[in-house]
């Protein structure tokens, strides 16, 4: 093995090997209970970001774990055609050429998009592979491929013929930049500080100067007002029925309507009604048969209905209309107003509520079984708190606007006969009208919302509407891993589609992971300049380091706070394991050469670390039993954590076992045996070391696949000497199982032995702390004395004296139940007894006193500074609570350090 772990060479080597050997592929003919995961398809325009890295790492952990459990696993990958996003990318490219999509025409533009997809669309897929994703790449799908397009048409036609798809002239979210409708979920609301304009509408037929006051955040829309509304029981405006309200600027007479929607206690109790530019006003307009006047064009400019403002941009119109209203004395007041404003989820343009003819899906009938599925537990959300979010949205679901006024996407399969005006939905391209036989057939110009293909993903990717064997075998799928922001976009709709077209759930568990944030708590994004590129992290650390660090730091369903430095955690862990494996290889004669074991032709001795090792129980020491017990504990805890989707707990278990129990304690303990002259003990210790490492590598594999695969072969643990035989890959090795009670008893893995070794470790830590407290260098021999608490502890320590002394780096270790220090002597109390460290000859008292005095001076200064801050009333009352709390915690820590230094100085003085 190389001295240093060459992450990039090894990660590239193993991914190429896995791909070349088809290690990730399976189908319905393979043995094992089926387990299927569908990747949330990233946009074809996408570039890997930390959110992807977290999502893919979690999915890969589940997939690799289940594969090792013997399940028949497929992880289906693919990309989304991302209608608006992709069209925007290509239009920007055309703009650089001085062209628009209209210059090319629809067919040529779509061809241009396909060309772009062929050239750049695979970027995100290549990046997922760098991360180590073990997707079944032979199954890769694209939401615009032939099969998925057929599924989309099939679903549209079925829903159309069932009456669940309809065309309606309704208020929708309109993006003036993208020139298309958006669904409610695609209009992302951002908190902003705007203005609330209180405007005077003159009253005709009343007293001189009489007016009513209405309020709006969008004065430009008043040009489309057709009424004012009051509550039916509001007596203040009872006489308005005999008067006329006049629309400012345009002098149009407005109707006065009475509607329960109006809150008489809010504002003046009277509201303007603009049916073509507000969803609530639209509903009132429907109830009262109001005229709908659209005053804007699709690009956000004012149309001819805006009168003198025609042709102006909507925001320029707002400024001018306020000037004109002010000139006429029609502005009552202007307040600062905090509200949430809808923005396009793709280009961040302020969305305009606008009356427009669009295609909709009637969602309530589809929502009923999907709501019941979560209510009765057929589908589970993890963490459970997302259940309530899902339920509330489903209970208040609104119809889904599915048409988009763009060219890239699935064109709506609705056709009209220009001869007889018959309209129908069909798959393919009809040549003649089915009613009159005429050949003048036109197709709807709009395309479907991107999510209309994505909601079919779990079954369309398996061949539906054809009833293929893989669909029957792998559907319904199992775990869905995704982010909270697409619960409504995608998760809910997939559940509805599953019930409507497959008569049941599409998956049984939805795991919602948190958001990746920087150390300051801000969501990572390019616009904020705080984004970390996963590919840079892989380059600087490794894919394994990226994966392990993310998982270790991310609690179940919680947001994760990262900085580049935090990926040192995973890198250092990988280095620790690599060095431990090299150490073991050097102790194993058949493995001790310096060659790259995975590049040799069968020269590595194969060693079975999957089956239970044959151990001579008479040779087992307490430390042997302890490491075997801790290994079994790790197997149990890791499996339980993965079963509960507590991925960070699984990472902590493996980290604790490998870094601390295995490397820090057992390998250090084993060195004296390995360097000793008892070949039987040496062989047994090596057997335990290999067995423990092999088991731990299998536990770690789902999180760190590359390192574990490399070491699996380098250590001779593979079942075959052919490094390109998938049967020998660690991903095909069985998942570790806990020991049964009989085996634990046979090896003597009892609680008392485990507890003794834990207490022994505590004693050694106390000795090392004493050494550090008094500035004694680590390699300086010390004469320690232990006064055991009882006879049992004395017996253990006497039997284990050589081991304890070696780990303490002690010159001598005395076990004396009657020891009484003749003078003040550094000591620490543990569960086994009191450990003393005589200072005679160990240190220069004067120099050590001076060193501690310098430390004490710095600590006292730090305490004084904090006390001055906390004594400052202005600081305590104005500083954030967290800052004040941190100062108090710092004060407490420094005071404890001061007390400890003073005790050490007293001990030195004797």
Residue 243 in contact with residue 228, Cβ under 8 Å?
no
179 backbone φψ class: left, alpha, beta (φ>0; ψ -120 to 50): left
Res. 600: pLDDT tops 60: no
**Tokens 């490397």 — which residue?**
663
Mean pLDDT in residue range 836-865 = 80
Q: Residue 909: what pLDDT?
A: 66
pLDDT at 272 over 60: yes
What distance in Å separates the CA atoms of residue 508 and residue 541, rounded to the nearest whole number?
Answer: 36
434-486 pLDDT, tens digit each:
999 999 999 999 999 999 999 999 999 999 999 999 999 999 999 999 999 89
- Percent of the chain predicted with pLDDT > 90: 70
What pLDDT is stored for residue 713 in this prediction?
95
Residue 596 has pLDDT above 50, yes or no: no
State the average pLDDT over residues 887-905.
84
Residues 658, 576: contact at Cβ < 8 Å? yes
- Residue-wise over 309-339: b if at least 16 C-beta within 10 A, else e? beebbbeebbebbbeebeeeebbeeeeeeee
**Higher-scoring residue by pLDDT: 532, 20:** 20
Is the pLDDT at 595 greater than 70? The verdict is no
Q: Average pLDDT over the chain, rounded to whole? A: 91
Q: Residue 334 pairs with which residues in a beta bridge?
A: 197
Task: Please give the structure tokens belonging to residue 856.
Answer: 């004490």
Tell me the mean pLDDT in the region 575-595.
80
Contact 642, 511 (CB under 8 A): no
Give 908 or 836, the one with higher predicted confidence: 836
For residue 120, with 0-12 CB atoms within 10 Å meaning exposed, 13-18 middle and 19 or more buried, which class applies? middle
- Mean pLDDT along residues 835-839: 88
Query: Taking 80 as the threshold, does the pLDDT of residue 823 lie above it?
Result: no
Closest C-alpha to 621, from 807, 832, 800:
800
For tokens 């790492």, the residue is 57
The whole-number pLDDT of residue 598 equals: 44
Of the chain, the percentage scoring pLDDT greater than 70 comes to 97
At 48 the pLDDT is: 86
- 702, 64 Cβ separation under 8 angstroms: yes
Start-to-end C-alpha separation, the chain: 53
Distances (CA, A) of 457 to 15, 133, 144, 529, 607: 26, 19, 12, 33, 44
Residue 630 near residue 661 (C-beta atoms within 8 A): yes
Strand-pair partners of 417: 441
Question: Is the predicted pLDDT of residue 679 greater than 60, yes or no?
Answer: yes
pLDDT at 404: 93
Q: Judge whether residue 888 has pLDDT over 80.
A: yes
**Residue whose pair of structure tokens reads 């989304």 in the numeric block:** 80
Tokens representing 212 are 């009513």
Residue 112 near residue 89, CB atoms below 8 Å: no
Hey, which residues does 840 pair with through a beta bridge? Answer: none
Q: What pLDDT does 843 receive?
A: 60
Helix-helix angle 705-714:7-20, to 10 degrees: 90
Q: Can you tell me the mean pLDDT for 530-550?
A: 94
Give residue 844's pLDDT: 62
Instruction: Dump pLDDT digits (tens) for 30-55.
Output: 999 999 999 999 999 888 899 999 99
Mean pLDDT of 366-383: 97
**pLDDT score, position 393:** 93
- Asked whether the predicted pLDDT for residue 504 surpasses 60, the reply is yes
| pLDDT over threshold 60, residue 492 | yes
What are the tens digits of pLDDT across the range 110-163?
Answer: 999 999 999 888 889 999 999 999 999 999 999 999 999 999 999 999 999 999
Q: Which two tokens stand for residue 853?
A: 């005095």
Burial class (CB in 10 A: 0-12, 13-18, 19+), 385: exposed
pTM, to two decimals: 0.85
Residue 155, pLDDT score: 98
What's the CA gap between 310 and 866, in Å, rounded? 65
pLDDT of residue 522: 83
pLDDT in tens, 682-702: 999 999 999 999 999 999 999
- pLDDT at residue 754 above 90? yes
Do residues 344 and 175 lie in contact, with contact meaning Cβ atoms separated by under 8 Å?
yes
């Amino acid at each position: 093995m190389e001295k240093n772990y060459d992450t990039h060479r090894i990660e590239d080597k193993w991914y190429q090997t896995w791909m070349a050997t088809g290690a990730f592929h399976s189908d319905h003919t393979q043995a094992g209970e089926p387990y299927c995961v569908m990747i949330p398809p990233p946009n074809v325009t996408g570039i890997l970001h930390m959110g992807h890295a977290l999502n893919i790492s979690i999915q890969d952990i589940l997939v690799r774990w289940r594969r090792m459990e013997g399940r028949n696993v497929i992880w289906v990958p693919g990309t989304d055609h991302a209608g608006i996003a992709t069209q925007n990318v290509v239009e920007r490219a055309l703009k650089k050429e001085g062209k628009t999509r209209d210059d090319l025409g629809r067919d040529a533009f779509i061809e241009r998009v396909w060309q772009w997809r062929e050239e750049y669309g695979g970027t995100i897929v290549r990046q997922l592979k760098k991360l180590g994703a073990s997707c079944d790449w032979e199954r890769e799908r694209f939401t615009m491929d032939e099969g998925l397009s057929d599924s989309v048409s099939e679903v549209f036609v079925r829903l159309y013929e069932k009456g669940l798809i309809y065309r309606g002239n309704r208020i929708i979210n309109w993006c003036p930049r993208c020139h298309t409708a958006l669904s409610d979920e695609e209009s992302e609301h951002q908190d902003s500080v705007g203005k609330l304009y209180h405007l005077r509408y003159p009253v005709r037929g009343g007293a001189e100067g009489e007016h009513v006051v209405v309020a709006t955040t969008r004065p430009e829309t008043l040009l489309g007002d057709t009424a004012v509304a009051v509550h039916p029981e509001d007596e203040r405006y009872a006489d308005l029925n005999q008067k006329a309200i006049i629309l400012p600027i345009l002098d149009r007479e407005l109707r006065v309507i009475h509607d329960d929607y109006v809150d008489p206690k809010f504002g003046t109790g009277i509201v303007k009604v603009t049916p073509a530019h507000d969803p609530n006003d639209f509903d009132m307009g429907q109830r009262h048969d109001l005229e709908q006047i659209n005053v804007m064009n699709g690009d956000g400019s004012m149309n001819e209905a805006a009168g003198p403002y025609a042709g102006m941009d909507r925001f320029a119109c707002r400024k001018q209309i306020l000037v004109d209203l002010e000139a006429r004395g029609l502005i009552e007041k202007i307040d600062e107003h905090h509200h949430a404003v809808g923005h396009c989820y793709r280009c961040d343009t302020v969305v305009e509520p606008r009356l427009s003819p669009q295609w909709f899906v009637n969602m309530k009938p589809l929502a009923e079984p999907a709501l019941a599925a979560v209510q009765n537990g057929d589908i589970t959300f993890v963490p459970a708190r997302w259940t309530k979010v899902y339920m509330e949205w489903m209970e208040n679901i609104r119809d889904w606007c599915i048409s988009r006024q763009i060219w890239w996407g699935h064109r709506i399969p609705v056709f009209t006969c220009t001869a007889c005006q018959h309209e129908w939905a069909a798959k393919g391209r009809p040549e003649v009208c089915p009613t009159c036989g005429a050949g003048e057939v036109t197709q709807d110009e709009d395309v479907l919302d991107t999510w209309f293909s994505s909601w079919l993903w779990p079954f369309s990717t398996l061949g539906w509407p054809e009833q293929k064997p893989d669909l029957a075998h792998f559907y319904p799928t199992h775990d869905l891993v995704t982010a909270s922001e697409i619960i409504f976009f995608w998760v809910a709709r997939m559940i509805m589609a599953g019930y409507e077209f497959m008569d049941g759930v599409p998956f049984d568990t939805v795991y919602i992971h948190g958001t990746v944030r920087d150390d300051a708590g801000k969501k990572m994004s390019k616009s904020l300049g705080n984004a970390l590129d996963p590919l840079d992290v892989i380059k600087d650390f490794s894919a394994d380091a990226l994966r392990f660090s993310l998982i270790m730091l991310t609690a179940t369903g919680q947001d994760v706070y990262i900085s580049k430095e935090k990926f040192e955690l995973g890198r250092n862990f990988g280095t620790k394991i690599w060095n431990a494996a090299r150490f073991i290889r050097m102790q194993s004669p058949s493995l001790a050469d310096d060659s790259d074991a995975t590049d040799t032709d069968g020269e590595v001795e194969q060693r079975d670390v999957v089956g239970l090792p044959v151990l001579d129980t008479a040779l087992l020491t307490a430390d042997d039993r302890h490491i075997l017990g801790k290994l079994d504990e790790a197997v149990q805890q890791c499996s339980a954590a993965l079963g509960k989707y507590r991925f960070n707990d699984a990472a902590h278990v493996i980290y604790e076992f490998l870094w601390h129990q295995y490397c820090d304690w057992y390998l250090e303990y084993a060195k004296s045996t390995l360097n000793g002259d008892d070949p039987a003990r040496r062989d047994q210790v090596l057997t335990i070391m290999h067995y423990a490492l092999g088991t731990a590598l299998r536990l770690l594999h789902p999180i760190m696949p590359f390192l574990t695969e490399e070491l699996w072969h380098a250590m001779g643990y593979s079942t075959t000497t052919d490094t390109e035989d998938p049967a020998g890959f660690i991903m095909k090795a069985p998942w570790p199982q806990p020991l049964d009670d009989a085996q634990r008893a046979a090896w003597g893995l009892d609680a008392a032995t485990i507890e003794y070794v834990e207490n022994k470790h505590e004693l050694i830590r106390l000795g090392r702390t004493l050494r550090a407290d008094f500035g004694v260098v680590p390699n300086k021999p010390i004469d320690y004395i232990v006064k055991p608490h009882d006879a049992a502890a004395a017996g253990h320590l006497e039997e284990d004296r050589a081991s304890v002394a070696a780990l303490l780096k002690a010159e001598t270790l005395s076990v004396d139940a009657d020891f009484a220090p003749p003078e003040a002597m550094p000591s620490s109390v543990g569960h086994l007894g009191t450990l003393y460290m005589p200072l005679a000859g160990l240190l220069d008292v004067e120099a050590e006193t001076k060193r501690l005095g310098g430390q004490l001076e710095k600590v006292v200064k730090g305490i004084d500074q904090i006390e001055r801050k906390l004594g400052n009333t202005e600081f305590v009352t104005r500083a954030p609570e967290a800052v004040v709390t941190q100062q108090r915690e710092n004060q407490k820590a420094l005071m404890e350090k001061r007390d400890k230094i003073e005790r050490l100085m007293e001990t030195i003085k004797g």
